[in-house]
């Protein structure tokens, strides 16, 4: 079991991802705001799952904050908006230090295997391709 911090501004995504992670035996604390979540990081977690496209503070800013303060903390970046933006935000996130990234469209199939591999110390890339 891992303590996972989930950050996504969409309630429906938080509910679905939380349910998947809890079904996998993990303890999940979710936040609709990156700023609120970052205050929680100091109290400890084993892994972060963050959306990219969010108001106030986006997932790339979250990733930068985490890499400065807790460089060893595994971070999974997710997004549903990458294909519409003209920029591959998932590739950008990995270049900026995300342990792994997934499109939201593949979460049902790939989330738990990737999370388990990340917890075990891998990147999760061996679980399935993004």
CATH of segment(s) 3-119: 3.40.50.2300
Run of H or E including 76: strand 75-79
pLDDT in tens, the chain (130 residues): 899 999 999 999 999 999 999 999 999 999 999 988 988 887 789 999 999 988 889 999 999 999 999 999 999 999 886 555 566 777 888 888 999 999 999 999 999 999 999 999 865 554 444 4
Q: Tell me what pLDDT residue 81 has.
A: 65
Query: Would you kindly state where each structural domain of the chain is located, as residue ranges?
Result: 3-119
pLDDT of residue 79: 87
């Amino acid at each position: 079991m891992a303590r996972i911090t989930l950050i996504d501004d969409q309630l429906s995504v938080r509910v679905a991802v939380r349910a998947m992670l809890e079904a996998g035996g993990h303890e999940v604390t979710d936040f609709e705001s990156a700023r609120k979540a970052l205050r929680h990081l100091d109290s400890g977690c084993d892994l972060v799952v963050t959306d990219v496209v969010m108001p106030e503070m986006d997932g790339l800013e979250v990733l930068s904050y985490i890499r400065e303060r807790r460089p060893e903390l595994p971070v999974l970046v997710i997004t549903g908006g990458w294909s519409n933006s003209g920029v591959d935000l998932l590739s950008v996130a990995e270049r900026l230090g995300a342990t792994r990234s997934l499109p939201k469209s593949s979460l049902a199939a790939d989330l738990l295997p990737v999370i388990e591999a990340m917890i075990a110390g891998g990147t999760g890339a061996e679980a399935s391709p993004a």
